[in-house]
Each structure stands twice: as C-alpha cells, then as structure tokens.
Amino acid sequence: MVLIKQNERMIRKFFSVCIILIIVVSILLGLLKRHKFTHKYCNGLYVEAYEVNLEGMNAEYLTDSVNFRIYIGNYDSENENFYYKCTGDSVYIEKVESDEEGLPNNTKTTSRIIEKKTVDLKTLIKQHRFE
C-alpha cells in the first residue's frame, strides 16, 4: 500500500515536471519567432516577416491571408533582403546580398542576387498551402 502511494506521488511529480517543461519550451519558441512587420504588395498579397533570433536573422512568408501562406526563406537583416515583383499570376522573388566598401568615407554599396524563385499564385490557391 505504501509503495502504491509512493509510485502515485512519483508519477504526479513526473507529469508536473513534464507540463512545466512543455510550457517553458512553448514560451521560448514563441519568443524566438516574433512578428516584425507585414507589408502589402500587389494583387492582395502580403509579406510577413518574423525575427528568428536576436542576432538579426529574419524569416519571410508570402500570403494572401485566405488561401495560402508559404515560407520564402531566412535572411540576415544586416546585409540581405528579399525583393518581390508581381507579373500576372506570378511573383518573382530575389534574395539580394549587399556589401559596403570604403567605410567610413566614400562608401560604395554593391549588391548581388544570391537566390531567385518564382511563385505561381494559381497553383498556391489550388493547393491551399500553409507553412
């Protein structure tokens, strides 16, 4: 009888610790992915940006808020960015990296495209993709 009560106490403690850990992990995950901004683009599309970590890494998603939400990618907010161009039912996305030379005088900024992708809106709407 005493062993059964001890086992019940241990099981309750175990589940209490598990619940506390789940709550702490959930809070930490929520803090790691904070909403930074939402920009409206063409054709009723929006780009949502989230802070992934405190070192300046961000993630962007493209959405129409009803039919789809897709992950575009991560970028370093210090020297990278995504650029969007809408043409018909397609969205052309470029990830651009910028470098500054000649600091602090005669600063010259050079940019280069490091990634390109094309998104077909009709396909996304049909698939109802949410990432």
> What are the residue ranges in the chain where pLDDT is below 70?
1-5, 24-33, 103, 106
- Nearest one of 115, 71, 85 to 97, comparing CA atoms: 115
pLDDT value for 71: 95
Domain parsing of the chain, residue ranges = 1-32, 34-127
Q: Which helix (H) or strand (E) holds 108?
A: strand 108-120
Give the predicted TM-score (pTM) of the model.
0.70
pLDDT value for 84: 95
- pLDDT tens for 84-102 read 999 999 999 999 999 887 7
pLDDT value for 43: 80
**Contact present, 73 and 63 (Cβ < 8 Å):** no
- pLDDT tens for 32-42 read 568 889 999 88
pLDDT value for 26: 61
